[in-house]
Amino acid sequence: MALFRHITSTVWVLSLVSLFTDMASEMLYPVMPLYLKQIGFSVLLIGILEGLAEATAGLSKGYFGRQSDLSGKRVPFVQWGYALSAMSKPLLALWTHPAWVFGARTLDRLGKGIRTGARDALLSDEAADGTKGTVFGFHRAMDTLGAALGPALALVFLSIYPEHYRELFLVAFFPGLIAVFSSFRLHGKTKNLLPKKAKPSFFSSIGYWKESPAAYRKLCIGLLAFALFNSSDVFLLLRAKESGMDDRMLIGLYIAYNLVYALASYPLGMLADRIGLKNIMLFGILVFAGVYFGMAHFHDEYALATLFLLYGLYAAATDGNSKAWISILVAKEDTATALGSFAGFQSIAALLASSLAGLLWMVAGAEISLLTSAIAACAVAVYLRVFMK
């Protein structure tokens, strides 16, 4: 079909692997705050857990991205990363001690750290000039379709077995296994991308930052400033919960959000290739600001539901396109390092963002926490408009 003429077999396989992995992960995501509260976690501790998990992924993304570039290999990192994430799902159900929950959640994010740079570099390698937004948008669409199917399965399960959250973690193991077996269909070749050097340190992202192109650094500064105020979506779910939504409505809303995200990602990726990645990114960030302003102002559950659906447009406009934008600013032999390093710094910012959001939420209230993020997003949009070509 002409619509998919830029989508190679490798992109299809990677997209299907991501679909099943996100099906497993997102089956749990909307009930994660409910489960954590059930076993005794406070809002602040939830924020620290999510932030620490993302920071673990972040510190490993740059390191394993560099390893992928140095070795010239992509597929082994992809396969091992997805395998570790699949293993983490049943572990969360085995024991509810906070240290165990932190460990299992961290294992999941470590898997993400191992695979992210290599997978995104593999996607970039498969994209011709002028089609990176399309390729990354298609992958994001398939990934997010899994994020819609997962909560749908969770909704069916919890309709039959209300509040059986631990059992749901065991069910989520099976789509994760399908993802792992699907990854065996990837057959990458080893390429001599970089000359052999000493093994990179675990903090190799910092070293790459110093030698990276100026345009890459300028873009990352803006996007990382945004990430500092973009806390975990768990807080938006908690906001919706406070409006009076029951568990099934909350999960249904999350499914609808992901459907908007999935359906919009591919078209917005293609549009970005036509009118510019920067323009679509600015659109997405301004939608984010509008959603957070609205979330701070409205308390009606239907108004919040509408805003949550608009939030899907923000995600579709920014996630895949930010990676596409970065990939065109760096040398091909540094692609996994550049993407992994950015994702690493972004995850560290998420640690601060989620922790600060949790603290602000407890001390000053939900409205102040949400308004702070909205104002920061507007400032970042101005920065990108002025300083990026």
Distance CA 81, CA 118 (A): 10
State the average pLDDT over residues 166-187: 86
Position 308 confidence tier, pLDDT thresholds 50, 70, 90: confident
Domain segments of the chain as ranges = 8-183+212-387
pLDDT of res. 96: 66
CB under 8 Å to 120, separation ≥6 — which residues?
136, 323, 327, 335, 336, 339, 340, 343
Mean pLDDT of 197-201: 58
* pLDDT attached to residue 276: 93
Return d(Cα 277, Cα 271) in angstroms, integer: 8
Continuous H helices in 95-172: 98-126, 132-160, 165-171
Lowest mean pLDDT among 1-10, 237-246, 299-308: 1-10
* Residue 173 near residue 86 (C-beta atoms within 8 A): yes
* pLDDT recorded at residue 284: 95
Q: Please provide the average confidence, as pLDDT, over all residues in the chain.
A: 84
Determine which helix (DSSP H) or strand (DSSP E) holds 46, and give its type and residue range: helix 43-71
Q: How high is the pLDDT of residue 205?
A: 63
Give pLDDT, residue 321: 92
User: Burial, 223: exposed, middle or buried (Cβ in 10 Å; 0-12, 13-18, 19+)?
Assistant: buried
pLDDT of residue 291: 94
How many other CB atoms are found less than 10 A from the CB of residue 97? 10
* pLDDT of amino acid 231: 81
User: pLDDT band at residue 214, thresholds of 50, 70 and 90?
Assistant: very high
3-class DSSP state of 21: helix
What are the backbone dihedrals phi and psi of residue 87, each rounded to the nearest 5 degrees, phi first? -65, -30
Dig out the tokens for 160 from the structure.
Answer: 């039959």
d(CA 165, CA 182): 27
Q: Which of 11-15, 38-42, 279-283, 344-348 has the lowest average pLDDT?
A: 38-42
% pLDDT > 90, the chain = 32
Class of domain 8-183+212-387: mainly alpha
What was the pLDDT predicted at 281?
96
DSSP state of 364: T
How many C-beta neighbours within 10 Å does residue 76 have? 18
